[in-house]
Structure 1
Amino acid sequence: MGNHVFQNLLSLLLFLVLSTAGCRESSKRGSSKQDSTQHISRSLDLYLPDDLEATLWAESPMFYNPTNMDVDIRGRIWITEAVNYRNYKNDSARFYHHRKGDRIMILEDTNADGKADLSKVFVQDKDLVSPLGIAVIGNKIIVSCSPSLIVYTDENGDDVPDKKEILLTGFGGRDHDHSLHAVYAGPDGNWYFNTGNAGPHIVKDKAGWTLRAGSIYTGGSPYNQKNQGNQKSDDGKIWVGGLALRIHPDGTGLQVMAHNFRNSYEVIPDSYGNLWQNDNDDQVVTCRTAWLMEGGNAGYFSTDGTRYWQADQRPGQDIFTAHWHQEDPGVMPAGDCSGAGAPTGIVINESDALGAEYLGLLLSADAGRNIIFGYHPILKQSGYDLGERKNFISSLSDDNTGYVWNDTAQNSQKEKWFRPSDVTIGTDGAIYIADWYDPVVGGHQLRDTSGYGRIYRIIPKNKKLTAPEIDLDTRNGQLLAFKNPAINVRNQGFEKLKQQGDAVVETLQPLLHDPNPFIKARTIWLLSQSGEKGKAIVEKILNDPDEKNRATAYRALRQITRDILPHAQKMAKDQSAFVRREVAISLRDLPYERTKPILIDLLRKYDGEDRWYLETLGSVLKGRESEIYPELVQLLGQGKPATQWNKQMAHVAWRLHPPAAVDALASRAADTLLSSEERQAALTALAFINDKTAARSMLRLSEIKLADISGQAAYWLSFRQSNDWNQLLDWNAIHFDPAYERRLAQMKVKKQIVLDDNQSTNERKWQVQRMAIDSVGGQLLIGMATEKKIPSILLPFIEEKIFQNPDASIRVQASKYFQRPGAGKIYSIQDISAMTADAKRGELIFFRNCATCHKSNSRGSAVGPDLNGIAKKFDKNSLLDAVINPSAAIVFGYEAWLVNTNDGRSIYGFLISDNKKSIVIKDIAGQNHVIEKKKISSKQKQDKSIMPDPVTNGLTEQQLADVVNYLMMRGAETGKH
């Protein structure tokens, strides 16, 4: 990161005066000319590359709380305001507020000096409650505000809407961040947009086609109380979570392009027809930026949307892998993990106005991290690798990788109030960044009561960028618009040129040789829709030396050609995996009988490594897995036994996992000659087969001697018993405790987070304290303590909770490794002995605290020594000493043992059997645990009694006096009989 750019800082007093005035809201229509001396400047230094500079283009009071931007053909910036932001949570009397509804603002630099000087209200509407998206496409202004996609039409160009139409409605997420986001015009002329996971989304397009999508997610707003996964849309498919969508401009042709996001803020198309997104994580460290494969499942929820990622996290999985279900068949690669944050706007820079090195730069804003990330994506296999992530623009000199959204101390630092909510490219080629400006991002909260916001403009040093004057009534103006870097501006050139059909083809052909590859790509799309002459040219581009152009030509022809199969048959043999994957996805909804020969060609060319390619083939073959599997065993597996399969066959079997593959997968899972990774993959595939034979095979695998398989098979049995396999086995008839195994798996996941230094301290604290108050989690913590694996920073958090563990044996063991609250308390035996005691109270105390281990009066448990007749062995002071200091003299045969197992469990109790194959430990509850010796990692005799001391039991001096008095009286009575 290079030099930082300083902005002018005006007085805080001026800001207070103006912002106070601003709170007396004015909703007057019309424009206001702004002099630079009237700006309320709270600008910060920005760090960016040495050859670029940032200027403060606009700020409050010209607009407030910007959530999204777009650029019109005149180079003006349109803003959605979210002043009425989550008023159910943020007091509108305290925060800046528009009682007549949120507004759409137009900002303009009228004198081309690089700063906005004119601001006007386009519309203020009570239906606008914190809108999250805007698109200016010709005379239509499309605003995304759940539950509706609203289109305002300005028919005469006076910046006043003449018509308002609800294009689509029924989206979930009303007054919620995880809701409807911005529209972008694609290179094909269709509109692309997305919505978050605050469903359900029950949306009917203008042709009557209905989307039904949802998930388990509820909450976040008072209006998001009901949601449901596993819903089927009119295309027969189950779409879940957040969605990327495509629609024709007339509101027909609604189609899901990808699904199962958390809350992707924007999905943006480039000129090749690729889709790009970033996605917010679940307040952990797994935000991502990705190329979005058509039909892709991003993997946030389970495939049917009925389970959160946490429910599906397997022992040994890191959080990023689990969060996006990366080891599950049916899920696309997640892209680049940017860590903790709050991703927002995203755009591809298709201009070289900033310099040739910035052409093709993918910009991804992260409001949490105070940063704009930069990527140069690289075509890899059949998809895109994001390449190296750069800190392109930031308010911080060092990236805030330790970001925690609700960390008050961090958020008090003013340089962290830079909250880029959107990033876009202007008609002049400059980058524009909208800054929400607030101490906090997340949880539907805000702290900046004034609603302050600003827009930065990023330009090259020593170079003036100016917005072109575009006249759409002329051919030159249309071409100028078509070549423009502003995505929705170039759509207007596209539409005007397309209307001319064959007549425009000759004019367009030179653009196929433009040095800017993005202009060539969008020309391919335009030619495909410019009559038969244009289509013929695009068909020739199927032979272009550049695989990206061949793929673009195929995509374009797929949209306009009634029968794509002749082209598919040819391109299925293309040397490029990227092209072949495009061919594969084009076959998904066509009759299998016609596409099967092409699919066989595509399967033959699978390299055994390319996840994008594999997932596409899997989605195309959905419902045909069992039918094609026997052929694939011969075609890819060459008829060999499953344990000798090549990687192509092994991975295809993993992805398709038909019931016919159960025996083959089970044999691979149990084969010691295969690597652990190969065995685990086979086991995973088995777990995704919803069939009795798979469940029975998993049960057998849980009993084999391969530790990596038997342990994971036990996990899968416990997990699947709670969902897909619940009705497949008689769980009561088998010697297996799925409830315990599930709990153990959950606690192992928490243990993994606790030991992960990359997790925030808050997250590790939360997880370790959940372990500390759980009986199974407590066992794991004791095991970690004996192996000295507990990070010292977490010890105080454990000590706060572990002595509240419901398992008395955990509490006893904990006293050896952790500092107990109240530890160091000294009981005076003489003082307690002299107290007036009540045997009746003592009896109640005994049976509440002691009878789980000891018998008295023939009641209680015989885990520890029988206390009948105890008065014959001890006087009062000696008995008090034994109760207060239980480890001072441990009775022979009642020494405690701690046994740790290979899977991380800790069993504490008395050793009552020890033979060649196993040992038996009786725990403090009297339960016997048979432990195979091969599963024991360590076995230690303890120097402390299993009996908890009075502090652990929370006993006072008076209670000790009472219970000892009861025992002495009861023991004396017993001795008389």
Structure 2
Amino acid sequence: MIRVVLCTIAITTPFLAAEDWQPSKPAESVPAVRFKVPDDLEVTVWASTPQLFNPTNVDVDAKGRLWVTEGVNYRRHNGRRPDGDRVVVLEDTNGDGKADTSHTFVQEKGLIAPLGIAVFDNKIVVSQPPDIIVYTDVNRDLKFDPAVDKREVLLTGFNAVNHDHSLHSVTAGPDGKWYINNGNCGAVFTDKSGKTFRMAGDYYKNGGGEWPVDTQKELGKKSDDGHVWTPGFTARMNPDGTNVEIVGHGYRNSYENCENSLGEIFQNDNDDPPACRTSYILEYGSAGYFTREGRSYNSVKRASYSKNPTVSTVMPVSDWGRTHWRQDDPGTFDIGDLYGGGSPTGVAFYENGVLGKKYAGTLLSCEAARNVIFGYQPEPVGAGYKLDRTDFMTSNTTGEFSGADYTGGVKKQGDDKVLFRPSDVVVGPDGVLYVTDWYDPRVGGHGDMDDSCSGTIYRIAPKGYKPKIQPVDLSTIPGSIAALKSPANNIRWTGFDSLQKKGAAAFDAVLAVTKDSDPWIAARGVWLLPHLGPQGVAACEKLLESSDTRMRLVAFRALRRTAKDIIPYSKKLAGDSSPAIRRDVALSLRDLPAEKITPILVQVAKGWDGKDKNYLESIGLAAAEQENAVWTGMRDALGQTQPLKWSDNFAKLTWRLWPSQAVTALKERASSTALTKEQRALAVESLSFIDDRSAADALLTLADDKSPSKADAMKWLLVRGTGAWAKFNLKDDLKKRGIYDPDKIELTEVTVPAKPEKLNFTPDDVLKLTGDATKGKATAMRCVMCHQIGDAGPHYAPDLKGWVARQGANMAARSIVDPSADIAHGFEGTAIQLKDGKWIDGLVTTTGDPTVITSTGGVTQTVPKNRIASTKHMDRSLMLSADQLGLTAQDVADVIAWLKTYN
């Protein structure tokens, strides 16, 4: 498995020398010749077991040495290596492009598959929940000796121990900050400035492991910065652990993030099976895995509207992926590249080096379940980025995947193309790429299968390239400039840190960097200017007038990190031609007084095209915790004082700001037949996201028989009245209006037939046949009781569009013939036993009171808590087998033939 992040309690075990442990089986790896990369590049093996075992994360130092965290003691194998896991250092001492030495830097019993490692000169940062540990190699001998070297816990309080959704790697930003990344296990931690952050959601004690931090006690509470945050999250801080800021939140299990020289942050995020994605992080924004309240996730967002309001569960959405990340809700940032099932891991951003300008600006994202490293060239579009995906490096060009949660966990032991499990990718000091592979037939599922603990590091470089590592001397300004220009992210940080400490003496050299012909290198110099005295600040201010949009953007960001008063700069750029800069202007105003920021936000709002989700979200994030004051000020300044004459843009702005001051106006709009049906529906939806009793009362009024918005109001009252608005005790009002009366609900028994004791034919029988796609299309309509095909069928089972292209014919045959053999993650069934003895089998989409469950045929029922005797997980699939559907082997072959074309 590769999505590891396991871990332990604070470690007191002394340093241990490398032990005699060896795996129980011989090492294995995927041959370099199996990989496909761009034609001008080649893949070679740089290191392999026994030089390292089960690599979880990697970083590189200025001399080209690779530092790797290992995960031998992962999950059920905790204790397999009795002396604990290690950080190992590997080096190519003779320059032939292969590692020839490997040794242990540190090994401790408390290290259990630590996920993250970052190297900042002689400071080695290891992510080991609940701690971020910093080892300082004082004598620089590459071996941790507690008698000489220093070990400290920088921050602590990250859930959970021996879990995959916990603390991930530390990375450096171009601003001199350190960035941390944590999955949705959450955290409660206090920074070195004394501020406590409460990252709490409903995901608690899920997926095994130990949970030393009781995040549930902090659910819904504000952190000391005045905001309510949800897990997973990204945070930035000073390297000494002070002044933590939450940068983004609402992730499921983002494995890693990377910061480029413009200050843009990218990440991948896992949610199997429907919704893995690669995305740009909008500062302060929510990715949408948790709701605003932090009390619901994943399945609660899955179902769609029903015509019957008594079985409605969530808001209408355009597709499942958007629902999963709540893309049509106010309060989430744009989705990025949503590619479906997977298990994303390490990321890196390539800017300069020996690969050449062709690859400058390439975002690389490891996808372990798909045996690939995706490549993107992020293209600025409005306030976000367009992310077109390519396969940069892959061992699997057939698209037949196995061993992942989204493939049902099926493992192909003998096919090495699917055993490549890239855990991380890093850029070397000369610009070559290094990829760590955790070789295993299984990925995800909190487990691994490879008893050889094999690991390999592959190098991607121009064909025939020999290493050329230039020395770095941080004691001098030229040496520090060389480090700042390094292709390697964390080496660049050492240059930044050194030049910042040199202050005004470094100004001339840094100013020269800002004029470098390479725009990525030039941007790195801009970040330093405000740290180099008054002349540096003045030079940075001058760049606000640059004709280069990227230089204006970076200059504004650099000033924002250092200026005591950002308002003058924000006023200057509020009407900038670039929507990306106007977005940043809005974000810069967060937590400043409403009377100061509202006029600037008015100017920013005038530049909105009415469509850009990230742009609108930036305005909402700027107004956080003072939405009423900002909204009323913007309403008056924009001339939107008559509710029935609002512009569509202002109506959507109101939707995002969720101001209680707008309740009366929204109620008027929802009641008016002078507006279109769509305008009334948006008014009702806007009311539903306002966390105030007055909004609930307005919807109750709109649920009256005479209201043109009755149907929409009833649907939203069920959603909110039994969810986020349950605190308003609306049960009697819901009952009175016939929206939700648990005593009158009639429940229908729906059970899934038991799995046949014997199959009439096997998947192999199907694969021997030639299918007829035309017949298969007609035959496939038998599947619409569970699957949506075209406009027919419910969103109950996995989406069939592109399914065979993703999974391959073998997997398709197995899933249709015997769906209970391997149940896709996220589609495990639940059996509800009612107190009257009836059973309802299906997919639970909302837990609590009521529980909402969808059964075969898309039948969705709302089950009051007081009617439930018990619930249990089903030991079989909710999908009927081919035999149960009356399909022959030829029928299945025909269906698969058609599904190959259904993309």
Q: Which category describes the TM-score, using the shorter chain as reference length?
A: 0.7 to 0.9
Residue 725 of structure 2 aligns to a residue whose secondary structure is coil
> Aligned with 1:142: secondary structure?
strand
Q: Note if contact 2:796-2:858 (Cα within 8 Å) is conserved in structure 1.
A: no
The residue type equivalent to 2:587 in the other structure is: I
Deviation sequence 1:361-389 (CA, Å, 0-9, x none): 00011111111001111111122222x11
Q: Give the alignment partner of residue 738 of structure 2, picking from 728, 735, 738.
A: 735
Structure number with the bigger relative contact order (C-alpha 8 A, sep ≥ 6) is 2
Please list the CA deviations of residues 472-493 of structure 1 after superposition, one character each: whole Å capped at 9, or x if unmatched. Answer: 3333322221100111111112
Q: CA deviation at 1:451?
A: 0.6
Which residue does 1:515 correspond to in 2?
517
Q: TM-score of the superposition, structure 1-length normalised?
A: 0.72
Q: Shift in Å at residue 755 of structure 1?
A: 7.5
**Cα distance change of structure 1 residues 550 and 798 upon mapping to structure 2, 3 Å threshold:** closer
Could you say if the C-alpha distance between residues 412 and 742 of structure 1 is closer, same or farther in structure 2, counting changes exceeding 3 Å?
A: farther
Relative to structure 2, which stretch is displaced further, 451-460 or 697-706? 697-706
Residue 256 (structure 2) pairs with residue 259 (structure 1): no
1-structure distance, mates of 2:502, 2:87:
34
Structure 1: gaps of 5 or more residues: 1-25, 33-37, 784-794, 803-816, 821-977
Q: Is the 8 A contact 1:100 1:125 kept in 2?
A: yes
> For residues 496 and 486 of structure 2, what CA distance do their matches in structure 1 show?
11
Number of corresponding residues:
754
**Equivalent residue, structure 2, for 1:206:** 192
Larger Rg: 1 or 2? 1
Contact 2:27/2:453 (CA < 8 Å) preserved in 1? no
User: 2:262 aligns to what?
Assistant: 272
> What's the CA shift for 1:710?
5.0
Q: Does 1:469 align with 2:471?
A: yes
Amino acid at match of 1:369: R
CA distance in 1, matches of 2:196, 2:675: 47
Contact 1:366 1:372 (8 Å CA) reproduced: yes
Deviation at 1:469, TM superposition (A): 2.2
Q: Partner of 2:174 in structure 1?
A: 187
Aligned 8 A contact 2:122 2:138 in 1: yes
Counterpart residue identity of residue 518, structure 2: N
From the superposition, tell whether residues 29 and 755 of structure 1 become closer, same or farther in structure 2 (CA, over 3 Å). closer
1:584 Cα deviation after fit: 1.4
Residue 320 (str. 1) matches residue 307 (str. 2): no
1:43 to 27, 31, 36: 31
1:577 aligns with 2:579: yes
8 Å contact from structure 1 (residues 241, 260) kept in 2 = yes
The answer (yes or no) to whether the contact 1:773–1:801 under 8 Å persists in 2 is: no
Q: Secondary structure at the match of 2:321?
A: helix
Contact 2:282–2:333 (8 Å) recurs in 1: yes
- CA–CA separation in structure 1 for the residues paired with 2:578 and 2:449: 51
Aligned residues of 2:354 and 2:432 also touching (Cα < 8 A) = yes
- The answer to whether the aligner puts 1:76 opposite 2:99 as a matched pair is no
Q: Which residue of 1 aligns with 2:812?
A: none
Equivalent-residue separation in structure 1 for 2:857 and 2:101 (angstroms): 64
The separation in 2 between residues aligned to 1:470 and 1:323, in whole angstroms, is 47
Q: Distance in 1 between matches of 2:500 and 2:339?
A: 40
Alpha-carbon distance in 2 for matches of 1:208, 1:259: 21
Residues 72-101 of structure 1, C-alpha deviations (whole Å, 9 max, x = no match): 011100000011111xx3375xxxx32111
In 2, the alpha carbon distance for the partners of 1:212 and 1:365 equals 30
Which residue of 2 is the match for residue 141 of structure 1?
124
Q: Which amino acid aligns with 1:390?
A: T
For the Cα contact (< 8 Å) 1:71–1:426, is it kept in 2?
yes
C-alpha contact 1:309 1:322 (8 A) present in aligned 2: no
Give per-residue Cα distances to partners, 1:834-871, cap 9 Å, x unaligned: xxxxxxxxxxxxxxxxxxxxxxxxxxxxxxxxxxxxxx
Structure-2 residue corresponding to 1:298: 287
SS at the partner of 2:445?
coil
Instruction: For residues 561-585 of structure 1, give each alpha carbon's deviation from its aligned partner in whole angstroms, at most 9, with x where no partner exists.
Output: 2122222221222222211221211
> Partner of 2:781 in structure 1?
none
Is the CA contact (8 Å cut-off) linking 2:250 and 2:286 kept in structure 1? Answer: yes
Q: Is the 8 A contact 2:30 2:416 kept in 1?
A: no
Aligned to 1:361: 362
Q: Is the 8 A contact 1:754 1:768 kept in 2?
A: no
- 1:690–1:194: structure 2 CA closer, same or farther, 3 Å change rule? same
The structure-2 alpha-carbon separation of the partners of 1:78 and 1:648, relative to structure 1 and needing over 3 Å to count, comes to same
Partner of 2:896: none
| Correspondence for 1:379 | 380
The residue aligned with 1:751 is 794
Secondary structure of the structure 1 residue equivalent to 2:189: strand
CA deviation string 1:318-375 (max 9, x = no partner): 3211211111111111211021100100111011421221111000111111110011
Counterpart CA distance in 2 for 1:264 and 1:460 is: 31
Change (3 A) 1:801 1:687: farther
Conserved? CA contact 1:31–1:119, under 8 Å:
no
Contact 1:134/1:143 (CA < 8 Å) preserved in 2? yes
1:350 & 1:582 partners in 2: Cα distance? 22
Q: Name the CA distance, whole Å, in 1 between partners of 2:258 and 2:250.
A: 17
Distance 1:446 1:574 in 2: 52
Amino acid at match of 1:131: P
Q: Taking every aligned residue pair, what percent have the same amino acid on both sides?
A: 40
Tell me if 1:130 matches 2:117: no
Contact between 2:628 and 2:660, CA under 8 Å: does it hold in 1?
yes
| Matched residue type, 1:361 | T
> What is the alpha-carbon distance in structure 2 between the residues aligned to residue 390 and residue 698 of structure 1?
47
Letter of the 1:50 counterpart: D
CA distance in 2, matches of 1:743, 1:767: 18
> Structure 1 residues 599, 738: closer, same or farther in 2, change over 3 A?
farther
Q: Deviations over 1:733-777 (max 9, x none)?
A: 333325589999x99999313373247864597569999736985
Partner of 1:713: 713
In the other structure, the counterpart of 1:247 is: 237
Question: CA contact under 8 A between 1:30 and 1:120: conserved in structure 2?
Answer: no
Structure 2 residue runs of 5 or longer lacking an equivalent are 1-14, 306-315, 751-785, 808-814, 816-822, 833-838, 843-851, 861-875, 888-903
Aligned mate of 2:490, from 464, 488, 491: 488
Give the whole-Å Cα distance in 1 for the aligned partners of 2:559 and 2:389: 34
In the alignment, the residues of structure 2 paired with residue 299 and residue 782 of structure 1 have an alpha-carbon distance, to the nearest angstrom, of 27
Other-structure match for 2:687: 686
Q: Secondary structure at the match of 1:136?
A: strand
Q: Which residue of 1 aligns with 2:893?
A: none
Q: Given the alignment, which residue of 45, 52, 69 partners 1:56?
A: 45
Aligned-residue RMSD, C-alpha: 3.4
CA–CA separation in structure 1 for the residues paired with 2:745 and 2:357: 57
Amino acid at match of 2:591: D
**Secondary structure in 1 matching 2:135:** strand
Q: Report the alpha carbon displacement of residue 535 of structure 1 after superposing the two structures with TM.
A: 1.5
Normalised TM-score (structure 2): 0.78
1:154 is aligned to 137
* Counterparts in 2 of 1:131 and 1:693: CA distance versus 1, 3 Å: same
1:63-102 to 2 correspondences below 5 Å: 63-86=52-75, 89-90=76-77, 92=79, 97-102=80-85
1:637–1:649 contact (8 Å) kept in structure 2: no
Amino acid in the other structure paired with 1:269: E
Give SS of 1:289's match.
strand
Tell me the SS of whatever aligns to 1:554. Answer: helix
1:176 aligns with 2:163: yes
CA deviations over 1:102-149 (Å, ceiling 9, x no partner): 100000011111111110100001221110000110111000010000
Superposed, which structure 2 residues align to 1:843-922 within 5 Å? none
* 2:643–2:668 contact (8 Å) kept in structure 1: no
Distance 2:442 2:367 in 1: 13
CA contact (8 A) 1:145 1:180 kept: yes
Distance 2:856 2:453 in 1: 50
Deviations 1:535-578 (A, max 9, x none): 11111000111222111111111122212222222122222221
Cα pair 2:477 2:509 within 8 Å, conserved: no
SS in 2 for 1:239: coil
1:375 and 1:512 map into 2 onto residues whose CA distance is: 26
- The answer to whether the 8 Å contact 1:368/1:405 transfers is no
Mapped to 1, the partners of 2:858 and 2:885 lie a distance apart of 11
**Which of 146, 167, 172 is equivalent to 2:154?**
167
Residues 350 and 583 of structure 1: is their aligned pair in 2 closer, same or farther, counting only changes over 3 Å? same
Residue 442 (structure 1) shift:
0.9
- Measure, in 2, the Cα distance between the counterparts of 1:467 and 1:172: 39
CA-CA distance at 1:412 after TM superposition: 5.4
* CA distance 1:769–1:546, change in 2 (3 Å): farther
Q: Distance in 1 between matches of 2:531 and 2:398?
A: 48
